[in-house]
Amino acid sequence: MDMSNLNSTHHFDVIIVGSGGAGLSLALSLPEHFKIAILAKSHLTDASTYYAQGGVAAVLDQSDSIQQHIDDTMIAGVDLCELDAVQQTVNGGKPSVDFLLQQGVAFTLDQDQQLHLTREGGHSQRRIIHAADATGKAISTTLVQRAQEKANIQIFENFIAIDVISHAKLGCDTQPNRALGLYALDEQHQTVHTFLAPFTALACGGAMKAYLYTSNPDIATGDGIAMAYRAGCRVANMEFNQFHPTCLYHPQARSFLITEAMRGEGAYLRLPSGERFMLRFDERAELAPRDIVARAIDFEIKRLGIRHVWLDITHQPADFVKEHFPTLYARLLELGIDITTEMIPVVPAAHYTCGGVMVDEHSQTDLPGLYAIGETAYTGLHGSNRMASNSLLECFVYGMSAAQHIEQHFDPSFDYPSIPAWDTSQVTDADEDVVILQNWDELRATMWNYVGIVRTTKRLQRALHRIEMLKKEITEYYQDYYVSKNLIELRNLVLVSEMIVRCAMQRKESRGLHYTLDYPELATELRKTVLNPPNFQVEQPLVNVDSPDLC
């Protein structure tokens, strides 16, 4: 679409930022008379959903039960999952699968032409539906195609959201504060557009590009979390960052994941000596939750001074491996690794943001008219550790719930106050973009070295000191120069990095994904860490904690 000929102000009924499973499920669940905008800051399939290799967790087999799925989730989250959210998500498993099948997603079938179910870490039963080992690709491409077919959905590729527009942001105190839309940069033409709608949904993915090594695509820069916080929404549990245990260690394959399902189908983790070491850390061995497996690998790498460990599925029949993991088999063969006869070098990498913007059962944030869905949101489902394949399920359950809520509360007579265009009168062209690159690299290295799989109070203090200095530099740069994609992302990343550190400093225990040498035991109190935005007020806060204001 040639955006250069379009007016810079656009009116819609619903604006959705993000083109992954969460955003697309919302768009496709809304009535077709709604005028919908989808903003993707890259091409449509460049979202975390596309790269998901595992699948969607759902109770579909008679040997399984809703209660077992709930129990498994609560155990993986180390008792910090919120039961209402877990129940809503697990009960939404069958409706979500039905939704995906109606959209035309081609899942793998068994010999009886029923949905094939596999098992992953933390699950007591086979309940993962999948499309071979490229489930995310199958879901993403199908939902994108459905969205492109809808006349009521307008797609804006290469548009980067900057900030949410609200009454408070406009200085309008005569009306109750609510979201009115957002500003977004058209990267192709380097112009800022105004998008207005009664309802705005942030489905921008997580924030794991804050780390030097990550399995995430480049879009995962915490945009939705940062924008919601600046708009006045609370954020919770940002200290719980999941490191995927098995990212391929290879110079020619940046951010390439080895799916959890490979361990579900019997793969072993081995040291260079050939020893299976996971049995020394957990009785579930390779099927232990991801935090335990990642920490065990990290321990062995540091103990032995090695760069990686090995994942071994060579004991399974070659035809079995090729049938279950065709994408992995072909890709690794291109890199010179035949997984039917050779072990795979793997290391942990930052993978999933378990915290995020606090929402209710309808994905509503603290700001009326603003929703957060998927990895951007904190629903309470994951607790201190996400169980494999629950995250895609969460996208669909909460996407459909948000759609229902928006439909019920839509007011066709909604009126806007006067919305100013984006102001560029006080900025100039940047003199040297190398400043952005330098700060980006320093921020991610700081997070990896000081706020990684194993933490200490001293490391967190050092990280916070450096992040505060970086944030000051980045803020000054943002105020002086025209916005760019890299600058917008860096501004968001430094804020979410600060959130991660501040949440980690509040948690005086080791639980789930947060492991600190200074507090290695579980605390007796179950609590989430909540960060309140400046001047935030709520009559009945969900958790009574002292949290610093971030600016």
Q: Which residues are catalytic?
A: 290
Give the pair of three-digit tokens for residue 40: 């993707």
State the angle between helix axes of 83-91 and 93-103 in degrees (0 to 180), rounded to the nearest 10.
40
Scan for tokens 């959890």, then name that residue. 260
By CB atoms closer than 10 A (0-12, 13-18, 19+), residue 481 is middle
The DSSP output letter for 481 is B
Distance separating alpha carbons of residues 192 and 186, to the nearest angstrom: 6
Asked if 484 contacts 186 with a C-beta cutoff of 8 angstroms, the reply is no
* Maximal CA-CA distance, the chain: 70
Please give the angle made by the CA atoms of 291, 296 and 297, to the nearest 5 degrees.
Answer: 100
Distance separating alpha carbons of residues 237 and 382, to the nearest angstrom: 10
- b vs e for 348-384, b when ≥16 Cβ sit within 10 Å of the residue's Cβ? bbbbbbbbbbbbbbebbbbbebbbbbbbbbbbbbbbb
Long-range contacts of range 301-306, CB-CB < 8 Å, 24 or more positions apart?
Answer: 301/347, 304/271, 304/272, 306/271, 306/272
Give the pair of three-digit tokens for residue 447: 């997070």
Distance separating alpha carbons of residues 292 and 192, to the nearest angstrom: 45
